[in-house]
Structures are given as C-alpha cells and as structure tokens.
Amino acid sequence: MEIEVLEEFVSLVETCSFQETAARLNLSQSSLTKHIHKLEEELDLSLFDRSTRSVMLNDYSREFYPYAKKIVETKQEAMAQLYDLVHKDSGILNIAYMPIMGQYGLIEALSEFADQYPDHKLHTIESYQPMELLKSKKCEFAFVTEEDANDDNFNKLIYQTDYLAAVLPSSHPLANEKTVSLEQLENEKFILHSSQTGTPHVETTKFLSLCEEKHFAPEIIAESEFTNSVLRYVKSGRGIAVLNRLHIPSDVSGISIVNFAPSVHSYIYLLYRRKLTSPYSRDFLHYIIELLNK
C-alpha cells in the first residue's frame, strides 16, 4: 500500500471531488481514478459511491479515513523532522505563494524581509499549488487562498482581507454608485475569472454561491485566467466582471469599481508547520506578525 495513494485517498475524502483532488495534487483525473481503483482492489472493497456526479463516502471510506490520515500525517511529521536536520544550519528559507499574491503586497514584504535579514538566504517559489510544496517539505511557509487553508496539520494566520467588487464600464448607469447589490445586476452579462487548474478563482466561487443563494442564474459570456483580459472585456462594453478588490490594478482607465453590499470577504492566509525549529523560520514569522500589527 503506497503512502502517496493514501494521500490521494485522504484528499478525495476531504474534497469529495476527483477534479479538485487532481488539481490539488497536480495529477490527471485518470491517474487519480486508477490509483483509487488500485487501492480498492488491494482492500477488496469499494470506498466510494460513484452513482452520482459527486463522490459520496460510504461506511468503508469513513472507517478507513482516520487511519489513512494518521499514516499520512506521520509521514509528513517524519519528513519535516528530517528536513529540519538537513537545513537547520543552511540559512535557506523557502517560501511559496500563488501568482495572485502580487496584488497583496507580498513581493514588497518579502523584499523588505530580505533587506532586514541579509544573512538569511531567502528563496521564493511562485506556484499554483503552494500547499503541495508545503506538504512535501519543499518550503517552510505558504501563502494561500482560503480554499487551501483548511488543513489542520498546519498553523495559519490571516495575511490579507479582500472583498468582492463589481467592475463596470465607466459609462454604465451604476458606475457612480458607492455600492451595488446582486439584484441590481440581474440583467447584466458577466465576465468571470477562471484559473489554470480549471477551477474557478475564489471570487468567482463566492459570486456563484451568492447567486445560488439568491436563486439568480448569471448570464456568463466569457471567462479568462488573466485579470487584464477580464478588464479589457469590461472596457470594451462586453459585460461586467466580479473580482476581488485588491486584484484590480489602480491605474486602469475606462472602468468603474463598485463595492458589493452587503460585503463579501475573502482571506489570504499564511500557513506554516506547527513546530518551527530553525531560527530563520522564526524570524520570518515574527516579521510577518509585526507587519500585520502595524
């Protein structure tokens, strides 16, 4: 029984989605399906009910999950201890973050830390899967969106708070309003933010959930991975966009940014291991805490 397959099983139980688990673990869905089938054959039982579009747990998967998770956690703890022994005197500090973090002042914060601690060898990694780097001990800290911040194996703190805003052409009738409600946008056409992994960005997920709560089906005419492309659609009058406020560059002309009312918040988290043994890791955590308290 391979531990990597158990990791995939644990993630699948927690997400109940082959698509999301495959994206998290950087696997193809076909490979993930083969691995789960192999595990079921080894156990000689079925772990999931696949009679519906979503993955449903059964009695076997519920019973097996805590034992599999304990094995995975033990492996992670062992690898973390070995990593610390190897790197404790190297002075290298590895930090991973998602590409969107450039909108949250992270690059400037990391540069300031490097200036304050020139003896620490800061190595930053931009990745669509920073949590996987943290889990695989390829970094000590990971800046992630709230969707990836639910792993109880790590400590976390809120690095930034963001909130949804409607992005309208400057000629739009609502362009000069201070706030806008979902009901006011009922007849609009929408351009939404997609991601490289094929799953929606956090703000898109929140917007679609809000629509579902209000029994409102938005007319989506375009999706783009790139914020600049989304804004160009809006400027051309193709439709309106819904983005997190801090994702939107401040120097874009021809658009108007109107906050949603009531506010819909999103959070950026810093995740790190429960036990920081290296002094440079502790220095970085103290630096971030001081930065947030300013």
| Cβ-contact 284, 93 below 8 angstroms | yes
When the pLDDT of each residue in the chain is averaged and rounded to a whole number, the result is 87
The confidence score (pLDDT) of residue 36 equals 92
Q: 86 pLDDT band (50/70/90 cuts)?
A: low
Structure-token pair, residue 190: 């929408």
Say how far apart CA 208 and CA 268 lie, in whole Å.
20
Q: What is the pLDDT of residue 197?
A: 59
CB-count burial class (<10 Å; 0-12, 13-18, 19+) for 40? middle
Tens-digit pLDDT profile for residues 172-220: 999 999 999 999 998 999 999 886 655 667 788 889 888 998 888 999 9
pLDDT (tens digit per residue) in 90-142: 568 899 998 878 788 899 999 999 999 988 889 999 998 898 889 888 888 99
Asked if residue 251 has pLDDT above 60, the reply is yes
Q: pLDDT tens across 274-290, in order? A: 877 778 888 999 999 99
Q: What structural domains and CATH numbers belong to the chain?
A: 3-74 (1.10.10.10), 85-160+267-292 (3.40.190.10), 162-266 (3.40.190.10)
pTM score > 0.85 for this model?
Answer: no
Which pLDDT tens digit goes with each residue over 14-25? 888 888 788 777
Higher pLDDT, 50 or 183: 183
* Cis peptide leading into residue 169 (ω within 30°): no
Rounded mean pLDDT, 83-94: 68
